[in-house]
Structure 1
Amino acid sequence: MSRIILSTESGADLPHDLASKHDVQVVPMHVIMDDQDYLDGSLPVQDIYDYYDRTKKIPTTTSTNAYEYHDFFAEIKADFPDCIIIHIGYTSKASSSFQNAVLASEDFEDLFLIDALNVTGGLMVVVMYAVSVLENDPGIEPAHLIKKIESIVPKARLAFVPGKLDFLRAGGRVSNAAYLGGALLKIKPLIELIDGNLVSTKKYRGKMNRVAEKLLSDFLNKYDIDREQLYFQYSIGLDESIKERMDDIAKEAGFKNVKWIQAGAMISTHAGPGGFGVAGLEA
């Protein structure tokens, strides 16, 4: 029986320990800073914020290109001959990365691509679901596993507030302009994934401690999230007291497991320092 290998992109913010533990292969996206191209994962996130503080410029990001995907898939095939690769990708609505994976896949057999229509923790939720299914049923037929993953893509939910609007504006990934002027009014936009698009759906006022609590309350009221697992995302600079309060709320809401995930360099370039988000899978 052929081994199934799961893969994803660095934009999933899947921690190295989880990727290593569950043998998930991760291909890096890119951060461009000072005219130098850095692979996501090789650049300390703090360097991005130090660069902004020094220059008032925000790095840019680029997707994994088709040649990189070709090499990535070829290396997996070399390491695991006769394997079946299931690649769970960053939303095609906000990046060309998935389409580049499609182009690269034409040279391989037993390679299947799933557009998760999500980013960061929302993408990670889909990946970790696939991990759990595969580990609980190692002999599962690939077609059945793919069908199960595709069926939960619409149930993966992500909501976050950026830490600094300058970064969000520069990133240009949000499909409306609800955040404009927010810095002057101390407004923080709530960003959600709608049909694979990053959309500002609501505005919060006030300091991040109040905003984070309101975001989590709204998220849990809006979605019936499976209480088995909840993921919190943060970018460097989020106050520890906020983390403690979010943990308390999650425990009170009945979540059995809560894991904090730090945003990597690529996601942090768009979210800015001190951002907060929550992701989970609808029951």
Structure 2
Amino acid sequence: MRRIILSTESGADLPEDLAQTYDIQVVPMHIIMDGKDYLDGSLPVEDIYDYYDRTKSIPTTTATNVYEYQEFFASIREKFPDCIMIHIGYTSKASSSFQNALIAAEEIEDIFLIDALNVTGGLAAIVLYAAQLLEKEPGIEPEHLVEKVESVVPKSRLAFIPGSLEFLKAGGRVSNMASLIGGLLKIKPCIELKDGKLMSTKRYRGKMSGATEKLFHDYLTEFNIDREQLYFIYSIGLEESVKEQMNEAAKKNGFQHVRWIQAGGMISTHSGPGGFGVAGLER
């Protein structure tokens, strides 16, 4: 029986301990800062925010390129000879990364690619679903696993409040960003993935503590999320009191397991410090 190896990008913000537990391979995306190209994960997120504080310029990000994917897939094959690879990628609607992976895989055998149409915790939720299913059914046929994973792609729901609208604006990835201009200092927009695109769907006013509660309430009202597992996402700077508040809210709503995920460099560059998000799979 051939081994199945899962992979994804750093933009999934997959916690390192879970990546190691399930042997999930992660390829870095890129952060461009002060004319230098850094692999996502190679520098502390605090450096990104310090850079902005010093220069008032926000770093940019770029996708994993075709050559990097070729090297990445080759390294997996070398590490796990005779394996079958399943790559679950960052949404193709907000990055060229998945398209580059498709090009790199053209001449590679025994590889499947799935566009998760999601990012950060929403992408991580899909990858971890695949990993846990593979753990429960180690003999599952790869085609059947791919089918199962593809079926949960539209069920992965992500919503988040960025910590800084200046970072969000500079990132340029929100399709209806123009609708937010004019109230940058007064509102906290809810950003969701709609058909793989980042969209501003709601607006909250007031402190982050109140906005996160409203976001969570609206999220659970709109989506019938499986109570087995919930993912909270945060960028550095979110107050501990907000985390405690949201843990209590999750408990009150019947969630059995809650995992906090720290936004890495790629996502933090677009959301800014002190952001909060929630991700889970619909029943």
Same fold (TM over 0.5): yes
Q: Name the SS for the 1:190 alignment partner.
A: strand
Shift of 1:43: 1.2
Q: State the distance in 2 between where 1:125 and 1:179 align.
A: 28
Equivalence for 2:208? 208
Does structure 1 residue 130 correspond to structure 2 residue 138? no
Q: Name the SS for the 1:140 alignment partner.
A: coil
- Give TM-score, length-normalised by structure 2: 0.99
- Give TM-score, length-normalised by structure 1: 0.99
Q: State the distance in 2 between where 1:178 and 1:275 align.
A: 20
Equivalence for 1:88? 88
Shift of 1:183: 2.1
Q: State the distance in 2 between where 1:158 and 1:201 align.
A: 12
Equivalent pair of 1:190/1:203 in contact (CA under 8 Å): yes
Q: How does 1:5-154 map to 2 (within 5 A)?
A: 5-154=5-154
Q: Name the SS for the 2:48 alignment partner.
A: helix
Q: State the distance in 2 between where 1:43 and 1:60 align.
A: 14
Counterpart of 1:161, as a letter, is I
Q: How many residues end up aligned between the 2 structures? A: 282
Q: State the distance in 2 between where 1:136 and 1:262 align.
A: 27
Q: Name the SS for the 2:113 alignment partner.
A: strand
Counterpart of 1:179, as a letter, is L
Q: 1:197-226: CA deviations, max 9, x gaps?
A: 000011111110000010001001110000
Structure 1 residues without counterparts, runs of 5 or longer: none
Q: Name the SS for the 1:210 alignment partner.
A: helix
Q: State the distance in 1 between where 2:21 and 2:133 align.
A: 15
Structure 1 consecutive aligned stretches of length 4 or more whose deviation exceeds 4 Å: none
Equivalence for 2:220? 220
Equivalence for 2:192? 192
Q: Name the SS for the 1:178 alignment partner.
A: helix
Counterpart of 1:178, as a letter, is S
Counterpart of 1:241, as a letter, is S
Does structure 1 residue 244 correspond to structure 2 residue 244? yes
Equivalent pair of 1:178/1:189 in contact (CA under 8 Å): no
Equivalence for 1:183? 184
Q: State the distance in 1 between where 2:8 and 2:182 align.
A: 35
Q: 1:7-34: CA deviations, max 9, x gaps?
A: 0000000011110111000000000001
Q: State the distance in 2 between where 1:218 and 1:252 align.
A: 15
Structure 2 residues without counterparts, runs of 5 or longer: none
Identity across the alignment (%): 72
Cα RMSD of the aligned pairs, angstroms, is 0.6
Counterpart of 2:182, as a letter, is G
Equivalence for 1:272? 272
